[in-house]
């Protein structure tokens, strides 16, 4: 498989999965998007994105234990894979390189 690129929303989701660690499940990701990125999205947008990231091999999911507060339903917990980490690094590097090619906007000048 060749290089796979991620979009801006996928990048945010991946970063939040890494940040949230064992608490990286749908509703927690949605809440963190609002809190840390000021992005209000539907839970469907989160689920669609994590499904796509899992299909690309950038994350994996496991089912957590059922809880009474969730009506006996289990949380789907996400973790980043080595491929997901590589995709994040590639995305960051591309952006930093582009920023640094614009003298007035170079990161080290901001």
Q: What's the predicted TM-score (pTM) here?
A: 0.86
Angstrom distance (rounded) from CA 76 to CA 14:
15
Residue pair 78/24 in contact by the 8 Å Cβ criterion: yes
pLDDT at 64 over 90: no
What CATH number is attached to the domain comprising 83? 1.10.10.10
pLDDT of residue 107: 63
In a domain, 61, yes or no: yes
All residues at 6 or more sequence positions from 54 whose CB lies less than 8 Å from its CB, including other chains: 60, 61, 78
**pLDDT tens track for 69-104:** 777 788 999 999 999 999 999 999 999 999 888 888
Q: Which domain holds residue 81?
A: 8-109
| Residue-level pLDDT at 7 | 94
Residue percentage of the chain with pLDDT more than 70: 92
Give a yes or no: residue 49 inside a domain.
yes
Domain tally, the chain: 1
Domain for residue 1, yes or no?
no
* Residue 3 counted as domain residue: no
Report the chain's mean pLDDT, rounded to a whole number: 90
Whether residue 14 lies inside any domain: the answer is yes
């Amino acid at each position: 498989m060749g290089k796979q690129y991620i979009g801006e929303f996928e990048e945010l989701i991946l970063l939040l999965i890494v940040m949230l660690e064992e608490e990286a499940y749908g509703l927690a990701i949605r809440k963190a998007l609002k809190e840390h990125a000021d992005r209000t999205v539907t839970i469907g947008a989160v689920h669609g994105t994590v499904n796509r990231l899992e299909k690309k091999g950038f994350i994996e999911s496991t089912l957590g234990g059922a809880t009474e507060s969730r009506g006996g339903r289990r949380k789907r917990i996400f973790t980043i894979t080595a491929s997901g980490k590589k995709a994040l690094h590639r995305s960051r590097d591309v952006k930093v390189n582009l920023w640094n090619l614009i003298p007035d906007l170079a990161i080290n000048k901001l």
